[in-house]
Structure 1
């Protein structure tokens, strides 16, 4: 009985696909999709140590993100709305400028398929001064990994998944 429970537990924790193969092929061939972040991964250990020092806090749970933090790639637009945890070299008193919240209409996008069959996107915004490169690696099951390299802060990465872009209905 306990062996059956253990096997059930192991298989339920396995990586489950977020998109089917047809949708995956469609999204990666069109280069238009939404990355939905589930978790932030700061590279600065000072941030993690501060989170672990808070009473009754666990940094692992604090870095799990609520629904709605995204990177949206459209034909002629890149929208990024992600929180930032780490060291800012030029912080602002306006706290909305301390996260990644920008729209770029002038960017270069290149993609290559690595040996494992994953797609790696390299996006370089030209009209956002502090962002050098946004890297997105999309795995075959729809999971994705995003890393952002900036001029004014330490690098950070995010785990999540891809999905279709939401079509906004116009209201009258």
Structure 2
């Protein structure tokens, strides 16, 4: 009887030690969040990333959900290109002008401010006909907001995600 009891106790001890070594869901979630935060920080430090717009909020307007995820801002220290929709007041653009915010140029005055829950990233880009002040608020889970102020258009805000550029995207730039 004592042998059976010893074996039973030994098996219980082994089961408890196996359970003690496994990570809980909470620990796994925290590790994944930490890994994502490191990826986002690396993207911002490299100053090479793609912002994909999913929602837009014009000044004084309602939130507009963008069905098509083809609207982007590709940020790079050498050249930044943008193709985003615009809804709002336009000041010095002709009627046959482009309805969206489209530009390509070299960013200037890049500023990065890291906080505990997000990163503030600012830059100024001179396009062909306008100057754009870009203000990102990037969260560590990969979501981001982008505010664009320009000389010829009312301010506008975009919600979306930040991701690493794909190789073919960098070749096209």
TM-score (structure 2 length as normaliser) = 0.70
Tell me the equivalent position of 1:6.
none
1:67-146 to structure 2, matched below 5 A, reads 67-96=69-98, 98-114=99-115, 116-146=116-146
Structure 2: segments with no counterpart, 5+ residues: 1-32
Tell me the equivalent position of 1:32.
48
CA distance in 2, matches of 1:154, 1:161: 23
Poorly superposed stretches of 4+, deviation over 4 Å:
none
CA distance in 2, matches of 1:77, 1:148: 17
Does structure 2 conserve the Cα–Cα contact (< 8 Å) formed by 1:44 and 1:154? no
Q: Give the CA deviation at 1:103.
A: 0.4
Q: 1:76 aligns to what SS in structure 2?
A: coil
Structure 1: segments with no counterpart, 5+ residues: 1-16, 49-59
Does structure 1 conserve the Cα–Cα contact (< 8 Å) formed by 2:77 and 2:106? no
Q: Cα distance 1:135–1:128, how it changes in 2: closer, same or farther (>3 A)?
A: farther
TM-score (structure 1 length as normaliser) = 0.70
CA distance in 2, matches of 1:141, 1:87: 32
Q: Give the CA deviation at 1:100.
A: 0.6
Q: Give the CA deviation at 1:94.
A: 2.5
Q: 2:40 aligns to what SS in structure 1?
A: helix
Task: Give the greater-gyration-radius structure (CA).
Answer: 2
1:47-58 to structure 2, matched below 5 A, reads 48=62
CA distance in 2, matches of 1:80, 1:149: 14
Q: 1:20 aligns to what SS in structure 2?
A: helix
CA distance in 1, matches of 2:128, 2:145: 21
Greater RCO (Cα-Cα under 8 Å, separation 6 or more): 1
**Bigger helix share:** 2
How many pairs does the alignment contain?
136
Q: Give the CA deviation at 1:147.
A: 0.2
- Do structure 1's residue 42 and structure 2's residue 44 form an aligned pair? no
